[in-house]
Amino acid sequence: MSLLKIANLSGGYGDVDIISGIDMDVGAKEIVTIAGTNGAGKSTLIKAAMGILPRISGTMVFDGIDLMKLQIEDRVRIGISYVPQVRNVFGTLTVLENLQVVEHAPAKAARIRDMFDLFPALAGRRGTYAENLSGGERQQLAFARALMSSPRLILLDEPSAALSPALTDQVFEEVKRLPQADVAVLMVEQRARQALAFSDRGYILDAGRIVLSDTGANLLANEEMGDVYIGRGQVQAAPQSPSSHI
């Protein structure tokens, strides 16, 4: 049975549909990657799943629960968590404070200890303001914040954005470990080749519609899709983006 099942989902920010007729499944403990060109609607789709897209129609069911009427807080409560593409930590709070301010985290002190075990680099930086973290550390903190609520599904919007290839590898290693902790992953990635290599399945989005879905391995082998949507050859370093903090 699917953990998350999306059917015929359409929606946008105003009258225009940015995503249209989306059918998508994420199983328990699965890693699923969404790839596609800039502006295809990938972040919009993730926002719809989290309940922060202003207008949607269709159906979304999580663990047997109808999501369509649930606000973001309720989605967090039932086990969905979200790491936005930008502004995913509070720059003017310390690492520890970033974890302490997370709501819907029962047994918070114990959970923070778990997060420091999981991300030892953060443990040594607990008093550092998030705006002074390296890109990789900041991404780890964003992850840790999302894991505080013990989600069963985590929505990741470009976890490798603005990271060097080495830090990308590090973050991807953490993504790969999530299913062992019973966390399923629905992830948007520009570094699609690299992400699909460890994804159970993938969806290719173009102009707001799914144009292809298959196993990660089959998508990588698909010659037709290769050049346009997932890129061939050398993985390029992402351009540096300004530091993101609220």
The residues of the shown chain that bind ligand ATP, judged by CB under 6 A, are 13, 18, 36, 38-44
CA–CA gap between residue 22 and residue 8 (Å, rounded): 5
What is the separation of C-alpha 157 from the centre of its chain, rounded to a whole number of angstroms?
4
Q: Is 133 exposed, middle or buried (0-12, 13-18, 19+ CB in 10 A)?
A: buried
For 151, residues 6+ apart whose C-beta sits below 8 A from its C-beta are 76, 79, 80, 81, 183
Which one, 127 or 242, has the nearer CB to ligand ATP?
Answer: 242
Beginning with the edge strand found earlier in the chain, give each strand of the sheet holding 201-206 in spatial order.
80-83, 153-157, 184-188, 31-36, 201-206, 209-215
Beginning with the edge strand found earlier in the chain, give each strand of the sheet holding 2-12 in spatial order.
19-27, 2-12, 55-62, 65-66
User: For residues 28 and 3, is the Cβ–Cβ distance under 8 A?
Assistant: yes
- Binding at 5: pick from Mg ion, ligand ATP, none (beta carbon under 5-8 Å per type): none
User: For residues 159 and 88, is the Cβ–Cβ distance under 8 A?
Assistant: no
Which one, 47 or 145, has the nearer CB to Mg ion?
Answer: 47
- Report in angstroms how near the CB of residue 183 gets to Mg ion at its nearest: 21
- Binding at 41: pick from Mg ion, ligand ATP, none (beta carbon under 5-8 Å per type): ligand ATP
Which one, 66 or 227, has the nearer CB to ligand ATP?
Answer: 227
Which one, 119 or 143, has the nearer CB to Mg ion?
Answer: 143
CA–CA gap between residue 215 and residue 196 (Å, rounded): 8
In the region spanning residues 197 to 236, those forming contacts with Mg ion, defined by CB under 5 A, are: none
* Amino acid identity at 94: T
Residues contacting Mg ion: total by CB under 5 A: 2
The separation between the first and the last C-alpha atoms of the chain, rounded to the nearest angstrom, is: 38
Which one, 13 or 68, has the nearer CB to ligand ATP?
Answer: 13
- Report in angstroms how near the CB of residue 155 gets to ligand ATP at its nearest: 12
- Report in angstroms how near the CB of residue 55 gets to ligand ATP at its nearest: 11
Token pair recorded at residue 180: 């062992």
Which one, 98 or 244, has the nearer CB to ligand ATP?
Answer: 244
Neighbours of 61 (CB within 10 A): 15
- Report in angstroms how near the CB of residue 187 gets to ligand ATP at its nearest: 12
- Binding at 124: pick from Mg ion, ligand ATP, none (beta carbon under 5-8 Å per type): none
Which one, 37 or 132, has the nearer CB to ligand ATP?
Answer: 37
- Report in angstroms how near the CB of residue 143 gets to Mg ion at its nearest: 17
In the region spanning residues 29 to 58, those forming contacts with Mg ion, defined by CB under 5 A, are: 42-43
- Report in angstroms how near the CB of residue 94 gets to ligand ATP at its nearest: 29
- Report in angstroms how near the CB of residue 157 gets to ligand ATP at its nearest: 7
Token pair recorded at residue 111: 């959970």
> Where along the sequence are the contacts to Mg ion (CB under 5 A)?
42-43
